[in-house]
Amino acid sequence: MQYIPNTDDDRAAMLMAIGVSDFKELLQPIPENLRLKNPLPLPEGKSEWEVRRHMLIRAKKNRDMTQYSSFLGAGIYDHFIPAAVRALTARSEIYTAYTPYQPEVSQGTLQIIYEFQSMICELFGMDAANASLYDGASALAEAVLLAQSHTRRSKILWPISVHPHYRQVTEAIGKPMGIGTEILAIKDGKLDESDLANKLDSETAAVVFQYPNFFGIIEELKPLIEATHQQGALAIVVADPIAMGVLESPGTLGADIVVGEGQGLGIDPAYGGPGLGLFAAKSPFTRKIPGRIAGVTKDREGQRGFTLTLQTREQHIRREKATSNICTNQALCAAMATIHLSLIGTNGLREIAETCMAKAHYLARELEKVPGVEIAFTSPFFKEFAVRFPLPPAQVVEQLLKKRIFAGIPLRHFRIDMDDLLLVAVTEQRTKEEMDAYVAAIKDIV
């Protein structure tokens, strides 16, 4: 049992034992202006059951997706998660598994990583994938670093139709490396090809595309990628893995690197995180892929086994030779995605994607029937679209909260000069009744 001093004599004895006469002597390294001058205004302590009751009361004030219809998106989506995903990942051998440094005792963990990598390669049409990264934004930043290393160039072209938060993360990581970003214009929600042609040159390391893009629009990637390659630049695609159920894979269309956010694959939205960074590339870039890659091998008896094959992070090799200083991967989230994809299968993924698309288009058509409501772009979209209302988006959100509806995300939050638009996402979980209630609520306030 741990001994905790609770009298002045006890504390004095402990201070004497470590060679100081007063507790303040231990604080000498801390500047005086940073020290707490008065005791913290903490309430009196409570018993365990009192604390539990207090937290439950506070938790009930939250408005979450179990109580409200959610049309939120912008990178984090309310997709269905089979109960088996939670049940299996809650098992201790998965839930508590750590870095598989010792392959002889980590075969299960390594096999999950290997299966995860294989599924991501198949989804994106690529040759190799890593064991995952923190989230979609950090995965894109790593892709940009790879492009700079491979091309020895430092200019990145970036359409405004790529997630603004992804650009902010990439710029924060890339700026110290001398990487500069140049913004490309859009036309009807899609990348303006003429602007790409004007800005793409021999100094460009890569062009970033999102598929579907931040506004839900489906970009026509093939000609854009071909134009990128003509200048010797790499094509980086940020892809939604759910959309791969109905869209042609980026790898088939010529992408060099594909990244994405894997939250929709069995991971709760959970107030915006954690995410799951997906990263895959064509074979010429395999040795520059950040993080680590699990592979298949054979032991001395000829039996199949799994091991970490390529480990390019600074924790494994000399810092100056590392491709990344990210020291971990989202192994538990990757396990959730692996189990989720195994359960739904190819046909299930296609059905989910088709359902998302059909429902999103149904809601868009019904909203357009309301006087004064306009779908912002006419280009084809997947499960997300931008809407213009005859009143401010923030007001729409506030009014629909009263009807237990999360209406969407105002684009003013992203500082892209589209303050009059609301981004609305529709997943397979939204019912016709929920969508009709959304339209009825809009009619009431408009």
How many CB atoms lie under 10 A from the CB of residue 102? Answer: 8
Domain end: 300, 322, 340, which one?
A: 340
Mention every residue, 6+ apart, whose C-beta is less than 8 A from residue 60: none
For residues 312 and 368, state if they share a domain: no
For residues 294 and 435, state if they share a domain: no
Distances (CA, A) of 127 to 111, 204, 230, 286, 293: 18, 24, 22, 8, 12
In a domain, 288, yes or no: yes
pLDDT digits (tens, 9 = 90+) for 354-367: 999 999 999 999 99
In a domain, 36, yes or no: no
For residues 152 and 231, state if they share a domain: yes
The DSSP symbol for 412 reads G
- State the pLDDT confidence band at 1, using cuts at 50, 70 and 90: very low
For residues 323 and 429, state if they share a domain: no
Domain of 397 in residue numbering reads as 69-80+346-445
Residues β-bridged to residue 158: 183
For residues 222 and 126, state if they share a domain: yes
For residues 290 and 422, state if they share a domain: no
Q: What is the DSSP string of 98-139?
A: -----GGG-HHHHHHHHHHHHHHHHHHT-SEE-S-BS-HHHH
Domain end: 340, 355, 382, which one?
A: 340
Mean pLDDT of the chain: 92
Rounded to an integer, the average pLDDT of 31-60 is: 91
Q: How many whole angstroms separate alpha carbon 204 and alpha carbon 23?
A: 59
In a domain, 209, yes or no: yes
CATH number of 363's domain? 3.90.1150.10
For residues 264 and 364, state if they share a domain: no
CATH number of 256's domain? 3.40.640.10
In a domain, 308, yes or no: yes
For residues 158 and 289, state if they share a domain: yes
436's tokens: 């009709």
In a domain, 371, yes or no: yes
- State the pLDDT confidence band at 327, using cuts at 50, 70 and 90: low
pLDDT for residue 410 is more than 90: yes
In a domain, 7, yes or no: no
For residues 91 and 235, state if they share a domain: yes
In a domain, 170, yes or no: yes
Nearest CA among 275, 210, 216 for reference residue 72: 216
Residues β-bridged to residue 305: 297
For residues 221 and 97, state if they share a domain: yes
In a domain, 28, yes or no: no
Number of domains in the chain: 2
pLDDT digits (tens, 9 = 90+) for 103-115: 888 899 999 999 9
For residues 401 and 299, state if they share a domain: no
pLDDT digits (tens, 9 = 90+) for 255-278: 999 999 999 999 999 888 899 999
Rounded to an integer, the average pLDDT of 382-388 is: 98
For residues 334 and 353, state if they share a domain: no
pLDDT for residue 325 is more than 80: no
Domain end: 340, 358, 385, which one?
A: 340
Rounded to an integer, the average pLDDT of 294-316 is: 82
